[in-house]
């Protein structure tokens, strides 16, 4: 028995530090938030049990439904954009032979910059007399008030987040492309398949596990967008960029309603879980 348990126990000891960190900073806070959502918790640490009152209040809160709609619209814009950009750059890097490491480092550089720094730079680019409007004015298409128009603010923010975050997904997809055996593509070329046919019939199916992973993490990232909105719009104009995370921030750290903020957080957790399961059903299936 000792001999049979030696390998599992040894493996457990190796993963124990990360397991402790995961329990401390992921599982326990989630359970604590679930419990806090059933209370009226204030900044002084005093609380009283309220049961489902916070959830009833949330159902009747127009700010919640508005923020949920804004978050879903933002996700619908951001996720396809960042996946397409990441996939396109990964395909280009996979085809590059000369100075591939340099190009990969340059494309990954925005990912390691601060969201606050990126927000400040892009706010200047989007300003009425900023760089982008200066270029648009030269071709008589501007200026355009990107940050002041409710119909343009979410696409503008999605572009900023895509520029900031596509580098990580690009590396994941590039690793997936490197794992595809070259003999498959060579055989398809010999059989007369063109580039699009090779991509559709060989590259894309074999890339599905990496693509599913990127789709899930970018969806979670879109539901958790906060830094860019806080720096660039503050939820405006007219709450056109007022997302769920920004609502949680306001409830918790502006109105000091920690119990109600935790309720928003638990609903956000449920929404992300449902969306991830739907993606798993459509894209992932058994082969991931």
- The full set of domains in the chain, from first to last, is 53-284 (1.10.3720.10)
**What number of helices (H) and strands (E) belong to the chain?**
15, 2
CB 214 within 8 A of CB 172: yes
CB 232 within 8 A of CB 157: yes
CB 222 within 8 A of CB 282: no
Interval 44-91: pLDDT, tens? 777 888 888 999 999 999 999 999 999 999 999 999 999 999 999 999
Closest to 174 measured CA to CA, from 107, 110, 114 = 107
Q: How high is the pLDDT of residue 288? A: 45
Interval 13-52: pLDDT, tens? 899 999 999 999 988 988 999 999 999 887 777 788 888 8
| Average pLDDT value for the chain | 88
**Residue ranges for the chain with pLDDT beneath 50:** 288
Q: How high is the pLDDT of residue 76? A: 94
Q: How high is the pLDDT of residue 72? A: 94
Give yes or no for a cis peptide into 237 (omega within 30° of 0). Answer: yes
Spatial distance between the Cα atoms of 141 and 153, rounded to a whole number of angstroms: 18
Ramachandran angles phi, psi of 40, nearest 5°:
-105, 90
């Amino acid at each position: 028995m000792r001999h049979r348990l030696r390998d599992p126990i040894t493996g457990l000891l190796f993963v124990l530090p990360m397991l402790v960190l995961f329990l401390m900073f992921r599982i326990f806070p989630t359970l604590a938030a679930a419990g806090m959502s059933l209370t009226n918790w204030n900044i002084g640490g005093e609380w009283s049990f309220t049961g489902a009152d916070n959830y009833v209040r949330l159902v009747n809160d127009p700010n919640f439904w508005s923020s949920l709609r804004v978050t879903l619209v933002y996700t619908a814009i951001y996720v396809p954009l960042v996946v397409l950009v990441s996939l396109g750059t990964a395909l280009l890097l996979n085809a590059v032979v000369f100075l591939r490491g340099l190009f990969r480092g340059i494309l990954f550089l925005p990912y390691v910059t601060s969201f606050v720094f990126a927000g400040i730079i892009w706010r200047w680019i989007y300003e009425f007399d900023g760089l982008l409007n200066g270029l648009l004015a030269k071709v008589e298409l501007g200026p355009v008030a990107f940050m002041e128009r409710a119909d343009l603010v979410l696409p503008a923010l999605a572009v900023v987040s895509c520029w900031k975050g596509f580098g990580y997904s690009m590396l994941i997809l590039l690793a997936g492309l490197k794992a595809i055996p070259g003999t498959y593509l060579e055989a398809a070329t010999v059989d007369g398949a063109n580039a699009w046919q090779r991509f559709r019939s060989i590259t894309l199916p074999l890339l599905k596990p990496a693509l599913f992973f990127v789709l899930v993490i970018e969806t979670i990232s879109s539901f958790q967008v906060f830094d860019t909105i806080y720096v660039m719009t503050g939820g405006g104009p007219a709450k056109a960029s007022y997302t769920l995370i920004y609502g949680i921030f306001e409830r918790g750290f502006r109105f000091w309603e920690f119990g109600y903020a935790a309720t928003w957080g638990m609903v956000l957790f449920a929404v992300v879980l449902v969306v991830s399961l739907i993606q798993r059903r459509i894209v992932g299936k058994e082969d991931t």
